[in-house]
Structure 1
């Protein structure tokens, strides 16, 4: 099964060492100069064709990085997607080049914008549960995060708090 959203050639250029997640707290993960904050997903039923992964990724380094692929044992494949308004119609399209992470910047993956599309979930995502997700970055390497599963209509993760 393919779980990448980039070609094998680009993946081969990436760091392939698997690093354990370095949690700064129960909802923050670090790898290299990157901080992944509040990774989450919405609840979906066992027969759902897709689910989505959301989070923020801050690049605290001085060099650009890129999220080049993601995978989970809980979905057939993971793809980077973005949504935007075109002629008054919301459209979603894949981002085959991955998600650029500018130095000193933060990229938000959230409903209605960029997100990770988990295609073909292997079962239900239940509120209060979690979904392991391996993220591969061009420079920082690989990290495993846990998507916290919020309610089906959630606009933010259940553990998100003010000022964060």
Structure 2
């Protein structure tokens, strides 16, 4: 292993072992997946913690790797069919509280991917909050992450993903 590669590996280890923080907002356990190299969409999952001392709201996200990033959630209709769609008005995160963006629930949906997301790559993402403003994070592409990471469970079951390609487990 070359010294430069060793330095990168140590930096990456440090990045992934500590939550990312800015303006009292912390992000932990962040990763992004896409289904194939030809995918036009992908999803990111993470835990967002608000240690700012004031209630805040995540109102949007963006990244240079996609045309658009939306806050999405899965909902069930009266027939038990799961549908995915944009979260209107954003996600409230009270002071000293957190919100999990996890498989089968709320997530960041990357639409119009501009290229393949390669295993191990770091994806720059900007989270936009009403009060904290723009929070820059780096999210690792991890195609191998199991659905029960961080004790979170996911089941694609009868979900209707019309118009969206969803990551395969």
Range into which the TM-score falls when normalised by the shorter chain:
0.7 to 0.9
Unpaired segments ≥5 residues, structure 2 = 1-13, 152-169
Q: CA RMSD in A?
A: 2.1
Q: Secondary structure at the match of 1:76?
A: strand
Is this contact kept in 2: 1:131–1:148, CA < 8 A?
yes
1:1-164 to 2 correspondence within 5 Å?
Answer: 25-27=14-16, 28-86=19-77, 87-151=79-143, 154-155=146-147
Q: Secondary structure at the match of 1:107?
A: strand
Higher strand share: 1
- Number of equivalenced pairs: 135
Change (3 A) 1:50 1:80: same
**Which structure would you say has the larger RCO, counting Cα contacts within 8 Å and 6 or more residues apart?**
1
Pick which of 104-113 and 139-148 moved more: 139-148
Return the TM-score normalized by structure 2: 0.72
Cα offset, 1:85, TM superposition: 2.5
Cα offset, 1:47, TM superposition: 2.3
The ranges of structure 1 where at least 4 consecutive aligned residues each deviate by more than 6 angstroms after the TM superposition are none
Q: Quote the Cα distance in structure 2 between the aligned partners of 1:92 and 1:43.
A: 16
Is this contact kept in 1: 2:34–2:41, CA < 8 A?
no
Cα offset, 1:156, TM superposition: 5.9
Q: Quote the Cα distance in structure 1 between the aligned partners of 2:147 and 2:141.
A: 12
